[in-house]
Amino acid sequence: MGDSDRGDVKISEHLCKGCGLCIEACPAEVLIQGDLLNRQGYYSAVYRGSGCTGCAICFYVCPEPGAITVLVNKSKKKPAA
């Protein structure tokens, strides 16, 4: 996670079925399709490594339980006004 990132996303490569829904849905456009087949024969989604906002949209659109975990960096949240 970079210093400026509000979130971090972990994609479990072996649970991903490469449907691409998370890639399409990510507003920050930080998810891409990998170029290596996983053990199920799918091209897993991959995080670019920076820029995640922690919005969790990818988590909610993913049909595969456990494939995506989103971590929110709470220390980067703006204090309530």
Residue 70 sits in the site that holds ligand SF4 (CB under 6 A): yes
Q: What angle do CA 37, 12, 63 make, to 5 degrees?
A: 95
Rounded alpha-carbon distances, angstroms, from residue 16 to 4, 46, 55: 27, 10, 19
Residue 46 sits in the site that holds ligand SF4 (CB under 6 A): no
With CB under 6 A as the contact rule, the residue among 19, 34, 38, 73 that binds ligand SF4 is 19
Residue 62 sits in the site that holds ligand SF4 (CB under 6 A): yes
How many CB atoms within 10 Å of residue 28? 18
Residue 13 sits in the site that holds ligand SF4 (CB under 6 A): no
Q: Which residues bind ligand SF4 (CB under 6 A)?
A: 7, 9, 11, 16-22, 26, 28, 30-31, 45, 52-58, 61-62, 64, 67-68, 70
